[in-house]
Structure 1
Amino acid sequence: MAPATEGGNARLARMRRHPISSTLFGLAILLLVALSWFAWTFAPVRLDVPQIDVGPLPPTTPLASMAISAIPTGTYETPAALAFRGGSWSEKRAFAATGILVRHPKGNLLIDTGFGRNVERQLTLLPSLQQSPHHLGTPIIDRLAKADADAITAIIPTHAHWDHISGVDDFHGLPVMVNDAGQRFIDSHGEGTEVLNSFHGVTYRTYHFDGGSYLGFPSSHDVYSDGSVVIVPAPGHTPDSVVVFVNLPSGKRYAFVGDLVWQMEGLTRPAEKPWMMRFLIGEDRSEIRTAIARIRAATKLYPQITAVPAHDGRAFSSIAIYPASTR
């Protein structure tokens, strides 16, 4: 045992003589471990989601004249690796900024607004990391026929982030529907609400989740009281995030999931957003996993339901582009 002890003492003596070198060596090891872990957070690991009982398909009685259209307003680009875990760094994804016009005899609705007329100015309010290269299209206010625009009674944002509410500024005085959590989030003036809080004279119409459970979600709000447009809480991406179910006369149903996932792979694989993106946004991972599980279970059990992530242009393929409509 004496030689080993002597060798250990010799190493300790060398470390005492060269403390800076020893510290740098230790820091290098820690840095290598940290970099390895960080790289792993982008690896294609399947998200483990809980089993969910979504219950029976909720009844709906939409009127025959109800219809929806998609209204693209532009895109912005990001590597697929930043969009979902397992995406490629070399593949660019064009994140859609698209609103949905719901035509209903009791009044039209907009689900999200995409880019508005003043989006360039609004972007300057954001941290530089969020100012991705983008391609601007025509704002919804300039796309809509006067009759359709005049018939809009409210805007339903899937959440308050800039790329979902930019066009609110163009529809002066039009009510923006928010739930209680959404109103608190906006009133907090926290990160993510900068653009919406820069608008003047926004009218908020607060609704409550006064309905029962809906496809595994604990509560719901039936906008028209006919089951055609139903909002459910899906906090996780932001405290105010919701999923909007739209059920058409044809029997086709859509779940507009906002930023629950950014691309379809988030649901089909399933794959969560990379850790870095979730950390920067401040997402609640548990809430996200549960909501993904609910949507996956509902779409698997009821194939008439199509889930539509707000930023995946492929997900809008079965919805006619405005001014055409689909039922």
Structure 2
Amino acid sequence: MMFKHCLPLVLALASWSAQAQAKASVEFAIVKTGKTTTLKGMMVSSGGFTTKVDGNFSAILVKHGQTHFLFDSGLGTQVAQQYRQDMPWWARAFFKYDEPVVPARTQLDQAGIPPIERIFLSHAHWDHASGLADFPQAVVWAAPEELTVVQHAAPGLGGSWPSQVSLKSLRWQALDFKPQPYKGFDRSIDVFADGSVVLVPLFGHTPGSIGMFVTVGSGKRFFFCGDAVWRADALKDGRPKFWPASLIVDKDREQTQHTIEQMRELIKQDPGLVVVPAHDDAVQSKLSYFPLWVK
């Protein structure tokens, strides 16, 4: 495992951005790698325990001009081994995935997508980092605070798994957030310097969680919020996750709730914005799945 801290993203992507068109076409696709079926009340406080819902495990494929990158990696080709090695026995009834799993790498290869060279990691939990091992040619970008979590990987929940993030083949880089306010967040990174893809800190769920704004060619705006909430309807009245789950998975519950309030204000200020939680099948299904694109 190799770390290169404090290398500014703008410099690292200079040649990448220079090759992009001034007004490059921007689109994204949701690469659904798996799902789990659970009670809605397990995903959001006061969600009820009579209604079953699907929770997705997805990676987001973004195309900017001729450039592709991933936001998260979903479940990977080695997830069964990773799960056996690092998921605690007591948690397996609640934190699980259903078969079959169709890894992002498999889907992208079948579709002829060029090799992925960059992955932005919303956070380092098992269901977001599982597929990293499938992209050894990619540089994995994460907030410096999240790289600390990676450095202290250990079996269990609430951190990162050695089976996923401690591979020597992985190449890590630290994101360098600038003091440039964006949509109510005090720091940001404009990845292509054209406003189409903007990263922001979304701390709370983990020490270095991040979110991603994407504006596609049609002008529609989307915000990928990772696991700040598990379902978008939780934002209507600011409901957190089901409290036992939150106690386990949210590193800082108070900061997580602050992030939820930030997103609620964001929606008030920008009602056309579509918030896409990482596991919300209801939102993701409406947008469609890869190989279909949102343009």
Q: TM-score, normalised by structure 1?
A: 0.76
CA-CA distance at 1:177 after TM superposition: 0.7
Q: 2: distance between equivalents of 1:62 and 1:93?
A: 42
CA-CA distance at 1:151 after TM superposition: 4.9
Cα 1:250–1:133 change in 2 (3 A) is closer
Q: Deviations over 1:113-170 (max 9, x none)?
A: 1111111111111112433252333111111147854253211121101111111111
CA-CA distance at 1:207 after TM superposition: 1.6
Q: 2: distance between equivalents of 1:266 and 1:129?
A: 27
The answer to whether the aligner puts 1:276 opposite 2:244 as a matched pair is yes
Q: Aligned match of 1:108 in 68, 75, 86?
A: 68
Q: Deviations over 1:286-305 (max 9, x none)?
A: 21122112212222221221
**Structure 1 letter corresponding to 2:272:** Q
Q: Percent identity?
A: 31
The answer to whether the aligner puts 1:73 opposite 2:56 as a matched pair is no
Q: Aligned match of 2:160 in 164, 189, 193?
A: 193
The answer to whether the aligner puts 1:227 opposite 2:195 as a matched pair is yes
Q: Could you tell me which runs of 5 or more consecutive residues in structure 2 were left unpaired when the two chains were aligned.
A: 1-20
Task: Note the 1:271-310 alignment, pairs <5 A.
Answer: 271-310=239-278
Cα 1:63–1:130 change in 2 (3 A) is farther
Q: For the Cα contact (< 8 Å) 2:117–2:137, is it kept in 1?
A: no
The answer to whether the aligner puts 1:323 opposite 2:287 as a matched pair is no
Task: Note the 1:69-218 alignment, pairs <5 A.
Answer: 69-105=29-65, 107-124=67-84, 125-131=86-92, 132-145=96-109, 149-190=113-154, 191-194=158-161, 195-218=163-186
Worse-superposed segment, 150-159 or 215-224: 150-159
CA-CA distance at 1:200 after TM superposition: 3.4
- The secondary structure found in structure 1 opposite 2:99 is strand
Q: 2: distance between equivalents of 1:93 and 1:250?
A: 30
Q: For the Cα contact (< 8 Å) 1:211–1:222, is it kept in 2?
A: no
Cα 1:84–1:323 change in 2 (3 A) is same
Q: 1: distance between equivalents of 2:284 and 2:123?
A: 19
Q: 2: distance between equivalents of 1:233 and 1:325?
A: 26
Cα 1:151–1:303 change in 2 (3 A) is farther
CA-CA distance at 1:321 after TM superposition: 2.0
**Structure 1 letter corresponding to 2:257:** R
**Structure 1 letter corresponding to 2:34:** G
CA-CA distance at 1:71 after TM superposition: 1.0
The answer to whether the aligner puts 1:243 opposite 2:219 as a matched pair is no
Q: Deviations over 1:146-199 (max 9, x none)?
A: 785425321112110111111111111311111211111211225521143343
Q: 2: distance between equivalents of 1:129 and 1:81?
A: 20
- The secondary structure found in structure 2 opposite 1:298 is helix
**Structure 2 letter corresponding to 1:130:** A
Q: For the Cα contact (< 8 Å) 1:178–1:204, is it kept in 2?
A: yes
Worse-superposed segment, 157-166 or 88-97: 88-97
CA-CA distance at 1:211 after TM superposition: 4.3
CA-CA distance at 1:311 after TM superposition: 0.6
Task: Note the 1:9-48 alignment, pairs <5 A.
Answer: none
Q: Could you tell me which runs of 5 or more consecutive residues in structure 1 were left unpaired when the two chains were aligned.
A: 1-60
Q: TM-score, normalised by structure 2?
A: 0.84
Cα 1:151–1:118 change in 2 (3 A) is closer
How many residues were matched structurally?
A: 267
CA-CA distance at 1:106 after TM superposition: 5.9
**Structure 1 letter corresponding to 2:242:** P
Cα 1:98–1:282 change in 2 (3 A) is closer
Q: 1: distance between equivalents of 2:291 and 2:22?
A: 21
Cα 1:85–1:99 change in 2 (3 A) is same
CA-CA distance at 1:97 after TM superposition: 0.5
Q: 2: distance between equivalents of 1:129 and 1:259?
A: 22
**Structure 1 letter corresponding to 2:160:** T
Q: 1: distance between equivalents of 2:253 and 2:226?
A: 16
**Structure 2 letter corresponding to 1:169:** A
Q: 1: distance between equivalents of 2:58 and 2:147?
A: 23
Corresponding position of 1:257: 225
Worse-superposed segment, 166-175 or 277-286: 277-286
Q: 1: distance between equivalents of 2:37 and 2:285?
A: 19
Q: For the Cα contact (< 8 Å) 1:62–1:228, is it kept in 2?
A: no
